[in-house]
Chain A
Amino acid sequence: MEINSNLLEVKNLTKIFYVGSIFRRQELIAVDNVSFHIPLERPLIFGIIGESGSGKTTVARLILGFIKKTSGEILFKGKNIEKFKGKELKNYYREVQAIFQDPFGAFNMLHSVDRVLKTPIKKFNLAHSNNEAMELISKSLEAVGLNAENVLGKYPDQLSGGERQRVMLARTFLIRPKLIVADEPTSMLDASLKADILNIIKDFKEKSLISFIYISHNISEVYYVSDMLMTMYLGSQVEIGITKEVVKEPLHPYTRMLMDSVPVANPEQKWREKIMLPAIEVEQRIKLARACKFYDRCPKRMNICHTKIPPLIDISKDHKVACFLYS
């Protein structure tokens, strides 16, 4: 593989948090040997799904450089992001942007929308005059379906959740990044507003060639926006593949369980079987697993699953699964 063939490459990424007191220090493996990549030549929306505690957000925070990895590598255009300093680091933060779950927490309540949008322009010298800046701003507001006249000069508390999330998207759009890491950007919005955000994301990809890492626990949403999809369970990637393929034929029992549990907005497609929730839960990640992490909940478990960690197996060129059913 050529060095520069990927926009982002995550290799055997692992993050261990230490919890408990200094006398009873325990390891919590939040991200466990995760690898994936986003190509450089064409934009791609890479979806990550999993329950809370599956390590989705930790992956996002590692890529954004908020926390340091324990082992593995994150390469941006072939270069290790931890080596970035000064100009290179600034450039990285320009090309990789983020959108978070809480459109209410991301704003300083005392800063008007203008200020929110002007800060990146100043920071990255995107415009030479005030007029140019205003033009840029109204263009990016237009790209997210907002009317500049209606939002400029307003303060965050005068905007709805959906509008705030759109201002956030407009802000990233100003900077024209290569990659946007979107961590559950719709989970706090109403269904009617979610649809708009999802459509804007698709639009950014198609018209402005921006790639996304789209993190969500809602598979219908990930199915709607993403090209590739990765399922995570307790820190490990259990399945990765082209979204359409994975959804059509999920291989890992956990992906299948997730798929079957998504409520479908159609009374003819009700859940068929009853699901059993665990009677008592133990924090599994604390123990260094020497077995498949899904063993306790898996409807198809076998003896081998209890004694060995399943490796990631290639099913086809773009479809991998970590399950002994397929080895």
Chain B
Amino acid sequence: MDELLSVKSLFAYYETPTGVVRAVDGVDLRVDKNESFGICGESGCGKSTLALAILKLLKYPGYIKSGEIIFENTDIIKLDEKSLREIRWKKISYIPQSSMNALNPVKRIFDQFFDVIKDHTNGSVRKSEVKQQVKGLLESVGLSPEVANMYPCELSGGMKQRVIVAMSIALTPSLIIADEPTTALDVIVQRGIIQLLQDIKNKLKNSLILISHDMAVQAQISDKIAVMYAGKIAEIGKLNEIFHRPLHPYTRALISAVPLIKSDKIIRGIPGKPPSLKNPPSGCRFNPRCPESLQGKCDVEDPPLIEINDDRVVACHLYV
């Protein structure tokens, strides 16, 4: 498959008065064209920071320390604000966490669409030209065209989320980054939104990075999954491989923590909690919680990223 985005040894930190938070600490990954790429892990392991870094949207005190983000053969990190504007939304759109609250409460939905389209197309469009387009966009997410004339407070959470999805595809981007797009939504609405993202991917032939801590959601939509732990990649692999042959003990623990309907499997939580990213444990960051930790190895040495095959990497001493 053709490569669309590749992140190479990316480091993104937050500078705080009590120390440096190493939220993204050496991440490598590759997203191909027309691929759904899932990123999962517990809260506080750097998923959202990674998303913001890819868009170069990290604001002070966060910053990209080093690394490369190659998108369609250009390094995003080296671009200035003006060229970034050309990429954001047109090429890469972003659905932030709790994006339902991202809508302006005192503007009609149509005007918010218009602002987005105007801002990212050199400001040379007129409202009347956009009208038909907005109607089409709303229809593509299954909303009535009447919604264009409504205010956000008149819409339910699920409808607002669909408006956001419609906005994210307004300029037919080649990559959509969705950060927990369905948390706080009901199951039926969640299913609707996830299926919508899938339809869009099939229609526009674009790629999707889906950030979600919910392994069950990942299982429904992703082609490939990256498991992150404490700012680092624990494992990347194809969906089936991750679920049926998880290599990293953390991936195994994540999967066995999810209750399955119609199954009498006993679920187990993962003891402990993710470490502080200000001073992570030495060696493998998962070693204090890992049931298979090797003394004298895992708590001392940082595990290298081992390539199992073309699509599969794992960072664990068990596979050296």
- Do the two chains bind? yes
C-alpha spacing A168/B25, complex, angstroms: 35
Say whether A195 contacts B187, CB under 8 Å: no
With A258-B188, A267-B240, A275-B195 known as contacts, the answer to whether A52 contacts B214 (CB < 8 A) is no
**Digit string of A281-294 for contact with B (CB within 8 Å is 1, else 0)?**
10000000000000
- Indicate the member of A218, A219, A247, A259 with the most B CB atoms within 10 Å: A218
Chain B 217-259 residues near chain A, CB threshold 8 A: 217-220, 239-240, 243-244, 253-255, 257-259
Per-residue interface assignment for chain A, residues 207 to 228, with 1 indicating a CB less than 8 Å from any chain B CB and 0 otherwise:
0000000000111110110000
Q: A192-B257, A193-B269, A264-B216 are in contact. List 14 more A-B contacts (CB 8 A).
A: A52-B186, A190-B213, A191-B42, A194-B259, A195-B257, A198-B259, A220-B260, A263-B216, A263-B217, A265-B243, A266-B219, A266-B243, A277-B158, A277-B192
Task: Write out, one digit per residue, whether chain B residues 45-72 have a CB within 8 A of any chain A CB (1) or not (0).
Answer: 0000000000000000000000000000
Q: Which residues of A contact B261 (CB under 8 A)?
A: 219-220, 223, 247, 259, 262, 264
**B257-A262 in contact (CB<8A):** no
Q: Is the CB of A220 within 8 A of B156?
A: no
Q: B204 an interface residue at 8 Å Cβ cutoff?
A: no
**A160 at the A/B interface (Cβ < 8 Å)?**
yes
Of the 9-residue stretches B85-93, B116-124, B126-134, B139-147, which lies at the interface with chain A? B139-147
With A192-B254, A279-B142 known as contacts, the answer to whether A265 contacts B187 (CB < 8 A) is no
Contact B259 A223 (CB under 8 A): yes
**How would you classify the secondary structure of chain B's contact residues: helix, strand, loop or mixed?**
helix
Residues of A within 8 A of B142 (CB): 276-277, 279
- How far, in whole Å, are A263 and B210 apart by their CA atoms in the complex? 15
With known contacts A258-B187, A277-B142, A279-B142, A265–B258 Cβ distance under 8 A: yes
A1 within 8 A of B: no
A261 interface hit (Cβ, 8 Å): yes
CB distance from A157 to the nearest CB of B (A): 13
Q: Is the CB of B262 within 8 A of A266?
A: no
Look across to chain A and name the residue whose beta carbon is closest to the beta carbon of B142: A277
Tell whether, in the assembled complex, residue A265 and residue B260 are in contact, meaning their CB atoms are under 8 Å apart.
yes
Chain B residues lying within 8 Å of A196, measured Cβ to Cβ, are 269
Collect the chain B residues with CB atoms within 8 Å of residue A274's CB. Answer: 195
Partner of A198, one of B190, B255, B267: B267
Considering residues A224, A265, A274, which has the most beta carbons from chain B within 10 angstroms of its beta carbon? A265
Residues B267 and A267 in contact, CB atoms below 8 Å apart: no
- Nearest-neighbour CB distance to chain B for A299, whole angstroms, equals 12
| Contact call A261/B191, Cβ cutoff below 8 A | yes
In the assembly, what is the distance between CA of A317 and CA of B239, in Å?
43
Q: Is the CB of A275 within 8 A of B191?
A: yes
At the interface, yes or no: A280 with Cβ under 8 Å from chain B? yes
Contacts of A263 in B (CB 8 A): 187, 190-191, 194, 214, 216-217, 219-220
Asked if B43 is an interface residue, CB under 8 A from chain A, the answer is yes
Which residues of chain B are within 8 angstroms of A261 by Cβ–Cβ distance?
187-188, 190-191
A173 CB to nearest chain B CB (Å): 18
CB distance from A18 to the nearest CB of B (A): 20
Query: B189 an interface residue at 8 Å Cβ cutoff?
Result: yes
Query: In the complex, how many angstroms separate the beta carbon of A282 from the nearest chain B beta carbon?
Result: 10
Distance to closest chain A CB from B258 (angstroms)? 4
Highest count of chain A CB atoms <10 Å: which of B143, B156, B158, B214: B156
Bound-state CA distance A247–B64 (Å) is: 48
B215's nearest neighbour on chain A, judged by CB, is: A265
Bound form: Cα–Cα A257–B190 in Å: 12
Residues of A within 8 A of B187 (CB): 51, 217-219, 258, 261-263
Chain A minimum-CB-distance residue to B159: A281
- Residue pair B259, A220 in contact (C-beta under 8 Å): yes
- B157 at the A interface (CB under 8 A): yes
What residues of B have a CB within 8 angstroms of the CB of A223 in the complex? 259, 261-262
Q: Does B273 reach chain A (CB closer than 8 Å)?
A: yes
Q: Which residues of B lie under 8 Å from residue A51 when comparing CB positions?
A: 186-189
A-B contact list, 27 entries, CB within 8 Å: A51-B188, A191-B214, A191-B258, A192-B254, A192-B269, A193-B269, A194-B257, A195-B267, A199-B267, A219-B187, A220-B216, A220-B260, A223-B259, A224-B259, A259-B261, A263-B187, A265-B218, A265-B243, A265-B255, A267-B244, A269-B219, A270-B219, A270-B220, A277-B158, A277-B189, A280-B147, A281-B159
The 4 nearest A-B residue pairs measured at CB: A196-B269, A263-B216, A195-B269, A192-B270
Please judge, given known A-B contacts A162-B273, A219-B261, whether A191 and B215 are in contact too, CB under 8 Å. Answer: yes
Alpha-carbon distance A281/B42, docked complex (angstroms)? 34
B210 to chain A, nearest CB (A): 12
**Chain B's nearest CB lies how many Å from the CB of A93?**
30
- CB contact under 8 A between A271 and B191, given known A263-B216, A280-B146: yes
B63 to chain A, nearest CB (A): 26
Instruction: State whether B262 touches A247 (Cβ < 8 A).
Output: yes
Q: Does A248 contact B (CB under 8 A)?
A: yes
Closest-CB distance, A131 to chain B (whole angstroms): 30
- CB of B268 within 8 Å of the partner chain: yes
Verify B267–A224 contact, CB threshold 8 A. Answer: yes
